[in-house]
Structure 1
């Protein structure tokens, strides 16, 4: 049964409707809405995904053995048979570039993971424990005073060339920068009221770090990890280019460019294609990092 509308006598003043104080709740946009809001994440993630697919499925993408030597087909220009041409030993550059993506992505992701973990540990300890801060950070400052590429070259000179040693050398050079970032965040969080309340309640330092400090350091750490990944791939290419990185037999982008520099003026494509792939991969990681910075930093979030 419908409720009858009460009769309002004539001449009675009717108050206007009150405005809505709270804004309308907007429905969640899902993944597509998030990607529209942050197009750099979508573009960078798409490019990086393509590189990952090319690296993982290289044996099924029309490639041949990247180390197979055929002197009868040396320095062939790009064609329908040899998409990226061949080098001075007759090796297919297309195959070498796709397999080289495995080396660069492995180095980049491994260094980003290891350097982030090591720098996080050092930064948390030095930022929260005052006694350790003066000692540990002086060591980090000493390492940071050496340019990363020179430090990596010096470390590689002490070992034999391999992908594992390249990862270790670049990781050691990147840990101080991560620890500096984490330490700065911890120093600001250490003075927050909720941390003082936890200390006053008798909570031990390890539990304070795990519950209150660590979760607030993850957002800037993730963004920093993307830049470390891009920097590690460039450093690996530089080390391989100057002969201090992976062995020449391994088809990395740096090795391919190093082998083709002698013929740059006449056979520029030997250097061009690995350089394009390296540039696109670094661009993809940097775009992803910029998008994550905007998404994770509330000060840069756009109003809805």
Structure 2
């Protein structure tokens, strides 16, 4: 290696070396790889680990010591938690442990499906509304009309027009959540279409579909991904509310809302019937929200805690 150190005595007369400046900023620690990303964002790691655990519980529910969640046993009704019945039994003698584990399938299916469908439809509406000016007034006025109705009331109204099923619950909640995504994407697109690189693409004669695909769509995925996590959590809560009031999934389907609805009459004497499904629902929503908060900090440079 060549030594680039300058000898002060070799400088021409009248020239001196400036003293070395002190290091004001600490050296940047570069973390690479998936493990480094999780270390830098522990909220993502905690939320992702909790959510992954619940997904595995839902997938392998038949192999976790469960029995048929719909099997009736009147002689064993309202048994307290014990070694035989870990979470106790309900008023019809059904094993609450089995019903809670199988209920995770319903809640996670509804949450993930609503987040996926609402994000896809809301993304399309938001991009078209934000980039095409003449379509903005039409689409956004319709979205404003939907947003004027509380999501839970809109879901109840839509469920009143159909029969209770998981598919109809997903459809009803998706329609109620689409305006939230479309408004977010539209606000992002409105700022992106004024950027110089978009003006340069327009000046070069690039067609509108190609501008959207190359320049607009990639920059909307990060905020939409964060929003999708909150929609997933909100959808699971809405599904539990609908099932709790009898407007969601049929009572024959073990969902956390149905379990809590069946045990509310015995809350003061048999609180475990409501406690376990409510605890699982709370942990699931917490995991999704932690994941969303962590992704927001990771994907938005303005939210970075350190440089």
TM-score (norm 2): 0.92
Is the 2:8–2:17 contact (alpha carbons within 8 Å) kept by the matching residues of 1? no
Q: 1:266 to 1:9 in 2, by over 3 A?
A: closer
Q: Name the residue aligned to 2:191.
A: 188
Q: Which residue of the partner structure matches residue 224 of structure 1?
A: 227
Instruction: Measure, in 2, the Cα distance between the counterparts of 1:37 and 1:9.
Output: 48
Taking the aligned partners of 1:280 and 1:303, their CA distance within structure 2 comes to 29
Give the unaligned 5+ runs of structure 2: none
Verify the 8 A CA contact 2:129 2:139 in the aligned structure 1: yes
* 1:133 aligned partner: 136
Q: Distance in 1 between matches of 2:281 and 2:44?
A: 19
Q: Work out whether residues 31 and 37 of structure 2, in 8 Å CA contact, stay in contact via their aligned partners in 1.
A: no
Work out the CA distance in 2 between the residues paired with 1:249 and 1:303: 51
How far apart in 2 are the matches of 1:167 and 1:274?
Answer: 20
Correspondence for 1:215 among 210, 214, 218: 218
Query: Aligned residue for 2:92?
Result: 89
Question: Is residue 109 of structure 1 aligned with residue 120 of structure 2?
Answer: no
Aligned alpha-carbon RMSD (Å): 2.5
Write the distance in 2 (CA, Å) between the matches of 1:253 and 1:153: 18
What is the match of residue 300 of structure 2?
Answer: 297
Deviations 1:185-240 (A, max 9, x none): 00001111111111111111111000000000000000000000000000000000
Count how many residue pairs are aligned between Structure 1 and Structure 2. Answer: 301
Counterpart position of 2:121: 118
Query: Partners in 2 of 1:291 and 1:9 — Cα distance?
Result: 56
Q: In 1, Cα distance between the equivalents of 2:256 and 2:182?
A: 30
Asked whether the equivalents of residues 130 and 187 of structure 2 are also in contact (C-alpha less than 8 Å), the reply is: yes
Q: Is 1:167 matched with 2:166?
A: no
Change (3 A) 1:275 1:23: closer
Aligned partner of 2:36 in structure 1 is 33
Q: Give how far 1:49 is off.
A: 1.0
Gaps of 5+ in 1: none
Relative to structure 1, is the Cα distance of residues 58 and 183 closer, same or farther in structure 2, using a 3 angstrom cutoff?
A: same
2: CA distance, partners of 1:146 / 1:28? 45
Find the aligned partners of 2:78 and 2:158 in 1 and give their Cα distance: 35
Residue 94 to residue 189, structure 1, CA distance change in 2 (3 Å): same
